[in-house]
Amino acid sequence: MKVYQIDYDLRNRRDYQSLYDRIQSYLMWCRPMESTWVIATDSNAAEVRDYLIGALDRDDGILVTRLEGEAAWCNVAPDASEYLKNLLERQAA
């Protein structure tokens, strides 16, 4: 599985729940920061983006970035910290 970081900017209507529902439909996910999620999937970045766009308005922004191996963080949600550590260790192996 590949690991992706999803960052978003919902600008006008801000329909967060629709986006959250789509992100949480992936089997493996965490939310380490307010507007950042991390998922694991066999899909590629464009497929993830295209799926999530269905929950966005035309003026919203989204960035899907593949994570591989090295990362560092501070003051993220405690459960997300352990999740990220385990996922990224598997990616580096």
Q: What is the pLDDT along the chain (93 residues), one digit of tens a residue?
A: 899 999 998 888 878 899 999 999 998 999 999 889 999 999 999 999 999 999 998 999 999 999 987 788 999 888 888 888 888 877 766
Tokens read off for 18:
């629709």
Quote the CA–CA distance of 88 and 92 in Å, as a whole number.
6
Q: What is the model's pLDDT at position 93?
A: 65
Amino acid at 57: D
CATH number at residue 86: 3.30.70.240
13: which DSSP letter? Answer: S
Domain count, the chain: 1
- Nearest CA to 67 out of 81, 82, 49, 88 is that of 88
Quote the CA–CA distance of 77 and 63 in Å, as a whole number.
21
Q: What is the model's pLDDT at position 92?
A: 67
The contacts of residue 86 (CB under 8 Å, 6+ apart) are none
Q: Domain limits at 8?
A: 2-92
